[in-house]
């Protein structure tokens, strides 16, 4: 089985708005995500986490380097059949209700009507939105949209979940609900690649962690090795801040 | 094709739930109804006036509805990030764009259809007959709107919403004045001005090809070959604009 995500020498540059030259936002990124793991992609604001996810899903195009999903180029549309994606701050069609939205996405995967309706009910129940199935999405709160976002990402029962800040801006109750769902999904065999700012969350659910700073992957390690291998009693937050500072100091 | 239909269905469903479209449609229906109430002409003149005004209203409001429906379709998907979950699924960018185009056509068809239905009912109540020429005129307005839609979809892949609205409106107006105004400009100008006028002349579609109001008002009809020629003209320009839109949208960073 090839790695579910593989990037080699990935570079993304944008034209500078000031003067000549390019700004490098992703710099020689090498990632390898194996089946069954929960990989957390962490970094300060502007580190390039969302850019990396956009590159993986071919929303933007790399300047250099290679991206393979399930061993195939990322622009191969067939890879999408096995992927579920939750964007940062989920937004969906305001005039639809959850059933209509999930039904539309289910049809894309050619799921038969009976199975689709069953799946929709299961997913709405899983994310706790079964009582809001006919409410227009424009009336949904951020937390409800995020839970619906998770449901739509699971409509095709994907092998790989790519989640961009799945718990960002949510209250502790919804955060815990989403965390529990992610744990269960991983126990069911799903591979999860997610970006996050919530380091306590990362500590609770991830197997491996990649720390990104200014487009560079400065450390990738198993969570337990990262935490126990550092200074005594250092939390992930302490390690994160220390590594980022060291990376900045190195450049200075 | 199936994915195109899914995107089109969603585009249609969203569009018909928008209040601004309801308002535009109701306003148009009121204007057409009001047109039939002018009774200061004798009956023959009144019917001509009704045909002239109603066809003009269907054409004008059809254009406005096309702009309202289409101008924001792709930019809004990007701005509201609704495009991301969709394109993370097995939907190609081309399917997404063509689905948007097809969904907008359905919305335009529904609106033009309702306006026309009201107009035909009123006309039938006045004249007691259904004029084939009227159907031809309405059909050509619809064909023209499809071409206009492809222009808007193309510009929505390369410009902002305000710029697209202005450019599309400019293209629509110039497309209707092309034969008269640009011919005049070409004959009167020289050098770079002449070159620009000529460029516009050859690049812009001549939307007057779809305007047969004058003939219809005077109870004439147009020949089937003319209609077929208009359909071909629309097909060629629409295909060109859609190919350009697919090219630029395929390269667009989202």
Inform me whether the pLDDT recorded for B246 exceeds 60.
Answer: yes
Q: Which of A59-73, B102-116, B166-180 has the lowest mean pLDDT?
A: B166-180
* Residue A152 touches chain B, beta carbons under 8 Å: yes
Q: Which of A236-240, B224-228, B231-235 has the lowest mean pLDDT?
A: A236-240
* Closest residue in B to A109 (Cα–Cα): B90
**Smallest Cα distance from A99 to chain B, Å:** 13
Cα dist. A197→A36, A47, A194 in Å? 22, 11, 10
Q: What is the pLDDT of residue A1?
A: 82
Distance CA B133, CA A179 (A): 65
The sign of the torsion formed by the CA atoms of B27, B33, B37, B42 equals positive
Report the CATH number that the domain containing residue A158 is assigned in CATH. Answer: 3.40.50.300
* Helix ranges restricted to H, chain A: 49-56, 98-108, 113-126, 142-153, 172-187, 199-205, 223-229, 236-251
Instruction: Calculate helix-pair angle for B132-158, B224-251, nearest 10 degrees.
Output: 20
For residue range B126-164, what is the model confidence (pLDDT) as tens digits?
Answer: 777 777 888 999 999 999 999 999 999 999 999 999 999
Confidence of residue A152 (pLDDT cuts 50, 70, 90): very high
Across the interface, which of B6, B82, B253 has its CB nearest the CB of A91? B82
Each domain of chain B, given as residue ranges in start order, spans: 2-251
Inform me whether the pLDDT recorded for A169 exceeds 80.
Answer: no
Q: What is the pLDDT of residue B231?
A: 96
Q: Residue B212's closest CA among B227, B192, B234, B233?
A: B227
What are the φ and ψ backbone dihedral angles of A222, each rounded to 5 degrees? -70, 145
Inform me whether the pLDDT recorded for B41 exceeds 70.
Answer: no
* Closest residue in B to A93 (Cα–Cα): B82
Inform me whether the pLDDT recorded for B64 exceeds 90.
Answer: yes
Distance CA B73, CA A60 (A): 20
Distance CA A150, CA A124 (A): 10
* Residue B253 touches chain A, beta carbons under 8 Å: yes
**Edge-first strand listing for the sheet containing A64-69:** A22-33, A5-15, A64-69, A72-73
Q: Residue A158's closest CA among B90, B96, B92, B10?
A: B90
* Residue A232 touches chain B, beta carbons under 8 Å: no
Burial (CB < 10 A; 0-12, 13-18, 19+), residue B44, is exposed
Inform me whether the pLDDT recorded for A232 exceeds 70.
Answer: no
Distance from chain centroid for Cα A247 = 24
Confidence of residue B49 (pLDDT cuts 50, 70, 90): confident
Question: What pairing do the DSSP bridges indicate for beta strands A160-164 and A83-86?
Answer: parallel
Q: What is the pLDDT of residue A247?
A: 81
Is B254 within 8 Å of A59 when comparing Cβ atoms?
A: yes
Inform me whether the pLDDT recorded for B224 exceeds 60.
Answer: yes
Is A152 within 8 Å of B14 when comparing Cβ atoms?
A: no
Query: In terms of pLDDT, which residue wins out, A68 or A176?
Result: A68
Chain B CB contacts of A83 under 8 Å are 88
Distance CA A83, CA B215 (A): 58
Is B85 within 8 Å of A83 when comparing Cβ atoms?
A: no
Q: What is the pLDDT of residue B40?
A: 65
Cα-based angle A62, A67, A68 (whole degrees, multiple of 5): 155
Write out the E strands in chain B: none
Distance from chain centroid for Cα A53 = 7
Query: In terms of pLDDT, which residue wins out, A176 or A228?
Result: A176
Distance CA B50, CA B57 (A): 10
As a whole-number percent, the residues of chain B with pLDDT over 70 amount to 98
Exposure string over B128-160, b if 16+ CB within 10 A, otherwise e: eeebebbebbbbbbbbbbbbbbbbbbbbbbeee
Average pLDDT over residues B14-24: 86
Interface of B with A in 23-52 (CB under 8 A): none
Q: What is the pLDDT of residue A231?
A: 58
CB B15 within 8 A of CB B41: no
* Closest residue in A to B2 (Cα–Cα): A108
Cα-based angle B195, B240, B113 (whole degrees, multiple of 5): 115
For residue range A93-140, what is the model confidence (pLDDT) as tens digits?
Answer: 988 999 999 999 999 999 999 999 999 999 999 888 999 999 999 999
Across the interface, which of A60, A93, A107 has its CB nearest the CB of B14? A93
Q: What is the pLDDT of residue B220?
A: 76
Exposure string over A146-168, b if 16+ CB within 10 A, otherwise e: bbbbbbbbbbbebbbbbbbbbbb
Average pLDDT over residues B28-43: 77
Is B14 within 8 Å of A110 when comparing Cβ atoms?
A: no
**Smallest Cα distance from A222 to chain B, Å:** 28
Distance CA A106, CA A156 (A): 7
Confidence of residue A209 (pLDDT cuts 50, 70, 90): very high
The CB density around residue B188, as the number of other CB atoms within 10 Å, is 10
Cα-based angle B182, B185, B188 (whole degrees, multiple of 5): 150
Q: Which of A67-81, B140-154, B177-191 has the lowest mean pLDDT?
A: B177-191
Average pLDDT over residues B75-104: 95
* Residue A59 touches chain B, beta carbons under 8 Å: yes
Chain A CB contacts of B85 under 8 Å are 85-87, 90, 92, 105, 149, 152-153
Across the interface, which of B2, B3, B85 has its CB nearest the CB of A85? B85
Q: Residue B58's closest CA among B219, B204, B216, B230?
A: B216
Average pLDDT over residues B236-252: 96
Average pLDDT over residues A153-178: 89
Average pLDDT over residues A236-248: 84
* Closest residue in A to B73 (Cα–Cα): A93
Q: What is the pLDDT of residue A118?
A: 95
Q: What is the pLDDT of residue B43?
A: 66
Is B90 within 8 Å of A81 when comparing Cβ atoms?
A: yes
Distance CA B252, CA B254 (A): 6
Structurally, chain A folds into a number of domains equal to 1
Domain boundaries, position A243: 5-251
Q: Residue B56's closest CA among B138, B118, B149?
A: B138
Q: Residue A25's closest CA among A10, A8, A13, A41?
A: A13
The CB density around residue A79, as the number of other CB atoms within 10 Å, is 21
Q: What is the pLDDT of residue B174?
A: 86
Confidence of residue A230 (pLDDT cuts 50, 70, 90): low
* Closest residue in B to A88 (Cα–Cα): B81
Chain A CB contacts of B87 under 8 Å are 57-59
Q: What is the pLDDT of residue B20?
A: 85
């Amino acid at each position: 089985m090839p790695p579910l995500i593989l990037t080699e020498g990935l570079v993304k540059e944008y034209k500078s708005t000031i003067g000549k030259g390019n700004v490098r936002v992703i710099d020689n990124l090498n990632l390898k995500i194996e089946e069954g793991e929960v990989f957390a992609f962490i970094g300060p604001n502007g580190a390039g986490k969302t850019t990396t996810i956009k590159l993986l899903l071919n929303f933007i195009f790399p300047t250099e380097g290679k991206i393979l999903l399930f061993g195939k180029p990322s622009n191969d549309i067939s890879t999408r059949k096995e992927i579920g994606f939750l964007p940062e701050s989920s937004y969906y069609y305001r005039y639809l209700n959850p059933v209509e939205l999930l039904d539309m996405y289910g049809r894309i995967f050619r799921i038969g009507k009976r199975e689709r309706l069953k799946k929709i009910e299961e997913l709405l129940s899983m994310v706790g939105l079964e009582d809001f199935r006919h409410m227009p999405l424009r009336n949904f709160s951020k937390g409800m949209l995020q839970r619906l976002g998770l449901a739509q990402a699971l409509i095709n029962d994907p092998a790989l979940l790519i989640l961009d800040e799945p718990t960002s801006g949510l209250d502790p109750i919804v955060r815990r609900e989403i965390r529990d769902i992610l744990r269960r999904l991983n126990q069911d065999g799903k591979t999860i690649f997610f970006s996050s700012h919530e380091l306590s969350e990362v500590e609770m659910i991830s197997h491996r962690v990649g720390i990104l700073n200014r487009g560079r992957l400065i450390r990738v390690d198993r969570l337990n090795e990262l935490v126990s291998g550092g200074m005594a009693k250092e939390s992930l937050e302490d390690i994160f801040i220390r590594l980022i500072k060291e990376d900045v100091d190195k450049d200075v | 094709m199936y994915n195109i239909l899914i995107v089109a269905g969603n585009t249609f469903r969203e569009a018909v739930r928008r209040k601004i479209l309801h308002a535009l449609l109701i306003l148009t229906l009121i204007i057409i109804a009001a047109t039939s109430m002018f009774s200061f002409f004798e009956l023959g003149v009144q019917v001509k006036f009704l045909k002239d005004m109603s066809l003009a209203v269907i054409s004008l409001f059809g254009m406005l509805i096309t702009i309202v429906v289409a101008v924001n379709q792709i930019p809004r998907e990007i701005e509201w990030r609704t495009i991301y979950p969709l394109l993370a699924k097995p939907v190609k960018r081309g399917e997404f764009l063509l689905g948007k185009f097809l969904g907008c056509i359905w919305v335009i068809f529904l609106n033009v259809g309702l306006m026309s239905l009201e107009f035909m009912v009123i006309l039938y109540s006045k004249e007691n007959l259904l004029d084939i020429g009227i159907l031809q005129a309405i059909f050509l307005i619809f064909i023209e709107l499809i071409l206009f839609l492809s222009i808007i979809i193309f510009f929505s892949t390369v410009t902002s919403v305000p710029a697209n609205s202005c450019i599309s409106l400019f293209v629509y107006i110039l497309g209707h004045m092309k034969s008269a105004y640009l011919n005049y400009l070409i004959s009167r100008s020289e050098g770079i001005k002449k070159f620009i006028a000529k460029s516009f002349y050859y690049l812009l579609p001549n939307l007057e090809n779809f305007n047969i109001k004058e003939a219809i008002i005077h109870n004439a009809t147009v020949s089937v070959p003319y209609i077929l020629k208009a359909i071909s003209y629309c097909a060629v320009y629409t295909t060109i604009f859609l190919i350009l839109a697919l090219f630029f949208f395929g390269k667009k960073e989202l």
